[in-house]
């Protein structure tokens, strides 16, 4: 099945550093979603983006819906240890969602 290209696959950062990850696709989407998933748990919605060019923040998280509608990025500022987990993107077109393979984030105190 179709998947989104999400990068990086994993990253180790120091506490306090900023983090950036992105997703790209060959398809156009109506909506981009960003989730965080802890081990053994379900994904939790972080940010939803509904319009091309939209820039939305949720606390230390900022995400943007690419102007071409084929990409999106997520930034985390001033990372803290509890930011550890897997972040993944999802593009939506009507009923269908396509998911990235995730970025595994590890924060070193």
Question: Which residues of this chain interact with another protein, rule CB under 8 A?
Answer: 1, 3-4, 31, 33, 35, 40-45, 48, 50, 88, 90, 92, 95-102
Give residue for tokens 């269908």: 96
Pick the closer one to another protein by CB: 44 or 78. Answer: 44
The least CB distance from residue 6 to another protein, in Å, is 8
**Closer residue to another protein, CB minimum distance, 43 or 66:** 43
Partnered with residue 43 across adjacent β-strands are none
Q: Which is nearer to another protein, 7 or 17 (CB)?
A: 7
Calpha distance 78→76 (Å, rounded) = 7
Contact predicate 33/47, CB 8 Å: yes
Look-up of token digits 């960003």: 34
């Amino acid at each position: 099945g179709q998947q989104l290209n999400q990068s990086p696959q994993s990253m180790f950062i120091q506490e306090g550093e900023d983090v950036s990850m992105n997703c790209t696709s060959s398809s156009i989407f109506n909506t981009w979603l960003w989730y965080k998933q802890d081990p053994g748990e379900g994904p939790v919605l972080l940010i939803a983006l509904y319009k091309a060019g939209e820039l939305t923040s949720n606390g230390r998280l900022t995400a943007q819906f690419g102007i071409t509608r084929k990409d999106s990025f997520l930034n985390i500022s001033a990372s803290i240890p509890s930011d550890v987990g897997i972040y993944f993107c999802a593009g939506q077109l009507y009923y269908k969602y396509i998911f990235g393979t995730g970025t595994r984030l590890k924060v070193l105190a």
